[in-house]
Amino acid sequence: MSKKKYAVIGHPIGHTMSPFIHKRLFDLQGIDAEYTKLDIPFENFAEEYKNTLSKLDGYNITIPHKRTIIPYIDEIDEKAKMYGSVNTVDNKNGIAKGYTTDPDGFLKALSAAGIVIGGRVVVLGCGGVARTVAYEIVLKNVPVLFGVRKEDVQIANDLCAEIKNTVKNAQVRVCLIDEVCGDIDLLINATPLGMFPKVDAQPVKDDVIAKCANVFDLVYNPLETMLVQKAKANGAKASGGMSMLVWQAVVAHEKWDNSVYDVKDIEQLCIDASNELAAK
């Protein structure tokens, strides 16, 4: 049986963690597979799809090709269709099917941390990852409050309008990030504040963190941001973004080969991936 071949594609591809994470996931399943990274510029995409991507067993997609890929594949999963984005393709029996694994990766990361979506949820930021987590929350009939900078209020309002138009009875609203206050059941940081090298930064003040029962920080470098550290010190359940990065990769393997992983193995992989990232 020939070795299966997979890759991550993007442009520029840079120091992606995908090869490290996916190789470990294949090893945990005892699957002999090759996983590489491919830098594909827009102008070469059609040629590369025909000559390379269509011949792989599967691949992951990062910026800027998550939408570029859609016209090329045969099928698209319903959730990927809703998001208008594909980050994983499975090639089986001559059929290329696209998925987005970020939403389920987010949900699995929360579950692994023992965090339940409910009550008062605040999402800091209004970019692409904030959009993903907000959709998953309102799909569970839980309201979302976006906390954003003054210059991002219109972007956040537009995102709220999009969500309301897509999800029936969705409850979403916006406030300034400095006005976030009161008891919070789940605080999600979808801003880059706290990311290496500015590890002393945090998106909200200590008095806000003190009133959070659960915190999920989408920043994955470092493994535990100042926000996560302070939340844990207050007795809250808290987790960082490396878990979402790894769990969304796990979801790709579920699509590719129906793999099932032990939570403890994934926790160790998050630590190892963080150490690998720090060593780069």
What three-state secondary structure class fits 260? coil
Active site residue 37: no
DSSP state of 197: T
Helical H segments across the chain, by residue range:
18-29, 45-51, 78-83, 102-112, 128-138, 153-166, 206-209, 226-233, 242-257, 263-279
What confidence tens digit (pLDDT) does each residue in 121-165 have?
999 999 999 999 999 999 999 999 999 999 999 999 999 999 999
pLDDT over 80 at 65, yes or no: yes
Question: Catalytic residue among 23, 66, 92, 230, which?
Answer: 66
Instruction: Give pLDDT, residue 112.
Output: 96
Q: CB 27: neighbour CB atoms within 10 A?
A: 11
| 91 and 38 Cβ atoms separated by less than 8 Å | no
DSSP state of 41: -
pLDDT over 80 at 30, yes or no: yes
Instruction: Give pLDDT, residue 280.
Output: 76
pLDDT over 90 at 15, yes or no: no
Prior bond to 71 cis, omega within 30? no
What confidence tens digit (pLDDT) does each residue in 66-95 have?
999 999 999 999 999 999 999 999 999 999
Distance CA 43, CA 252 (A): 27
Binning pLDDT at 50, 70 and 90, where does residue 263 land?
A: very high
Backbone φ and ψ for 144, nearest 5 degrees, come out as -130, 135
Distance CA 168, CA 213 (A): 28
Averaged pLDDT score across all residues of the chain? 97
Binning pLDDT at 50, 70 and 90, where does residue 14 land?
A: confident
Mean pLDDT of 50-74: 97
What are the residues whose beta carbons fall under 8 Å from the beta carbon of 267, sequence distance 6 or more? Answer: 112, 243
Distance CA 277, CA 34 (A): 21
Residues pairing with 186 in the sheet: 121
Closest CA to 87 of 242, 268, 199, 251: 251
Mean pLDDT of 41-53: 97
- Written as six digits, the tokens of 167 are 């999800």
Residues pairing with 144 in the sheet: 121, 172
Instruction: Give pLDDT, residue 137.
Output: 98
What confidence tens digit (pLDDT) does each residue in 200-256 have?
999 999 999 999 999 999 999 999 999 999 999 999 999 999 999 999 999 999 999
What confidence tens digit (pLDDT) does each residue in 18-28 have?
999 999 999 99
Instruction: Give pLDDT, residue 1.
Output: 59
